Amino acid sequence: MARGPVGGGPAGGPAGCYLDANATEPIRGAAREAAIAALDLVGNPSSVHGAGRAARRLLEDARERVAARFGARPAEVVFTAGGTEANALAIHAFGAGRRILFGATEHPSVLAAARAVAGDAAAKVPVRSDGRADLAALAALLAGSGGGPPALVCLMAANNETGVLHPLAEAAALCRAHGALLHVDAVQAAGRVPISLAALGADSLAISGHKLGGPKGAGALLLRPGLDPTPLIPGGGQERGRRGGTEPLPAIAGLAAAAEEARPEDAATELAPLRDRLEAEVRALAPEARIIGAAAPRLPNTSCILLPGVPAETQVIALDLAGVRVSAGAACSSGKVARSPVLEAMGLGETAAGEAIRVSLPWNATAESVERFLAAWAPLRERARRRAA
């Protein structure tokens, strides 16, 4: 993997030490080149003249590459504006007339779409204390429908705050046994752990370009054959009538390039050791600190660190002033730091749920990234210890 300064810009520039990849990854070189090249194509992919056909070829090439990367057929890849729209398209299209069951730690885009479609009838699937979906509870919810309609189950591949991986293969088997559909939000997992729509046995899967190191503005919904969603955005028949509007070709070209360059094996061999070192040093510096989700399988780049007695907002601001960029909660949900519903769902309680930060290593993280975080976090923890003494 080609590596550069963390943050994708000059060392010491405005990005500082950027450790917030789960909010957005630094753009990858291949993705930047693909997006810039696509900017030079003047044609609309829906036009029939030569310039339009050239743009269409680029669009369909990107579709084939994304399909091959994530185990789908090209005809079943619907390009969207991002993961939020991909989740909403699946839930609005396939949740109508079904019971909707969603994981207790799902992304806000899934929660909002589920409630928009099903209201209070949407039911929450609890998670265990390690953050993984409670499969026994899911089985009971699926079996408890009686003579009611089958369900749409929404379960993320990896949690955006803790990095915890859900047992998707087992969930998919339960869904098949009960005639339910399974939608997977794979936004955080794609490119970091192996993800394949076909291998999972899921019915739909959402990804987002900028979480892979592509440009912001493009995502995709991948479908199993036979599913044909009613568009959320009707228009000129683009995306086989599934999503109206001229496709943002530069962002889509960048998405395809980033998807090919974001390799789970690189994350496992390069980022996981850095994450493990960071967590070991945090435990050594502060025995009272907790790594949330450490008992479960997790993304190789993500650490959720709880420092008792120090609000997450205080930690994020102090680290930012030291040039280290981390976050707390779902960065795209509100733009502010608040108590985490994800951590509450894991049983941590209101106070603890407001004391955790997320460190998510970008694809170009280095050992220096870990050292800079620790150098900024250690005095933060020491100040908290003195105040508590």
CATH number at residue 359: 3.90.1150.10
Q: Are residues 348 and 254 in the same domain?
A: no
Identify the pLDDT of residue 148: 77
CA distance 169 to 187: 17
pLDDT at 13: 43
The label of the residue with tokens 């290593």 reads 361
**Do 335 and 245 belong together in one domain?**
no
Q: What is the pLDDT of residue 120?
A: 86
Please identify, among 244, 261, 278, the residue that sits at the C-terminal boundary of a domain: 261
Residues 97 and 197 both lie in one domain: yes
Residue 10 lies in a domain: no
Q: Clarify whether residues 328 and 376 are in a common domain.
A: yes
Question: Do residues 253 and 277 both lie within one domain?
Answer: no
Residue 201, sorted as left (phi over 0), alpha (psi -120 to 50) or beta, turns out to be left
With H, G, I as helix, E, B as strand and everything else as coil, classify residue 187: coil
Residue type, 7: G
Strands (DSSP E) contained in 239-336 are 290-291, 302-306, 324-325
Low-confidence spans in the chain with pLDDT less than 50: 1-2, 5, 7-14, 331-335
What is the C-alpha separation between 248 and 60, in angstroms, rounded? 13
Which amino acid, 319?
A: L
Whether 6 maps to a domain, the answer reads no
Residue 288 domain flag: yes
* Domains contained in the chain, number: 2
Residues 187 and 140 in one domain: yes
Domain assignment of residue 323, yes or no: yes
332 is catalytic: yes
What values do phi and psi take at 360, rounded to 5?
A: -125, 110
Say if 372 falls within a structural domain.
Answer: yes
Report the interhelical angle of 50-69 vs 249-261 (nearest 10°): 30
Residue 166 and residue 310 in one domain: no
Q: Please give the pLDDT value at position 121.
A: 86
For residues 192 and 267, the answer to whether their CB atoms sit within 8 Å is: yes
**Which of 261, 285, 316 is the C-terminal boundary of a domain?**
261
Domain boundary among 202, 234, 261: 261
How far apart are alpha carbons 9 and 13 in whole angstroms?
Answer: 6
Clarify whether residues 299 and 382 are in a common domain: yes
Contact 270, 370 (CB under 8 A): no
Question: Of the residues 17, 154, 175, 332, which is catalytic?
Answer: 332
pLDDT of residue 2: 47
| Whether 50 and 80 share a structural domain | yes
- Residue 11's pLDDT is 35
- Do 216 and 301 belong to one domain? no
- Whichever domain contains 157, its CATH number is 3.40.640.10
389 three-class SS: coil
Residue 11 belongs to some domain of the structure: no
Q: What is the pLDDT of residue 387?
A: 82
Q: 0.95 exceeded by the pTM?
A: no
Which CA distances in Å does 338 have to 322, 351, 373? 21, 11, 22
Residue 332 and residue 184 share a domain: no
Q: Confirm if 324 and 379 have CB atoms less than 8 A apart.
A: no
Domain span holding position 169? 29-261
Report yes or no on 3 lying in a domain: no
Q: Is the CB of residue 371 less than 8 Å from the CB of residue 381?
A: no
Q: In which element (H, E) is residue 184 found?
A: strand 181-185
182 domain residue, yes or no: yes
254/281 same-domain check: no
